[in-house]
Chain A
Amino acid sequence: MPPDSETVAEQVFVALADPSRRAILAALAAEGPATATDLAGRLPITRQAIAKHLALLAEAGLVTAQPGERRRVRYRLRSAPMQVAQQFLAALARDWDGPLGALKDHLDKSAHGPGPAGATKL
Chain B
Amino acid sequence: MGFPDRIERTVEVAHPPAKVWAALTTAEGLAAWFGNEATIDLRPGGSARMRWAEGHVAEMRVERVEEPTVFGFTWHIYGLPDDDPRRTYVEFTLEPAGAGTRLTVVESGFAQLPEDTYHKAFDGNTQGWASELGELVAYLDAA
Q: Mark B56-68, 1 if CB is under 8 A from A, else 0.
A: 0000000000000
A57 CB, nearest partner CB in chain B, Å: 14
CB contact under 8 A between A64 and B110, given known A86-B79, A120-B33: no
Give chain A's interface residue range (CB within 8 Å of chain B).
35 or more
Residues of chain B at the chain A interface (Cβ within 8 Å): 2-5, 7, 9, 11, 13-15, 19-20, 23-24, 29, 31-36, 52-53, 77-81, 84, 86, 88, 103, 105, 107, 110-113, 118, 121-122, 125-126, 128-130
Q: Does the CB pair A121–B9 fall under 8 Å?
A: no
* Number of A-B pairs, beta carbon distance below 8 Å: 116
Kindly identify, within residues 97 to 117 of chain A, every residue whose CB is under 8 Å from any CB belonging to chain B. 97, 99-100, 102-108, 110-111, 117
User: Within 8 Å of chain B (Cβ to Cβ): is A38?
Assistant: no
CB contact under 8 A between A105 and B33, given known A4-B113, A6-B3, A100-B105: yes
Write 10 A-B pairs (CB below 8 A) sorted by A numbering: A5-B113, A6-B3, A33-B130, A87-B80, A87-B86, A88-B111, A90-B110, A93-B78, A93-B79, A102-B33
Question: Which chain A residues border B32 with CB–CB below 8 Å?
Answer: 106, 110, 117, 120-121
Question: Which chain A residues border B88 with CB–CB below 8 Å?
Answer: 90
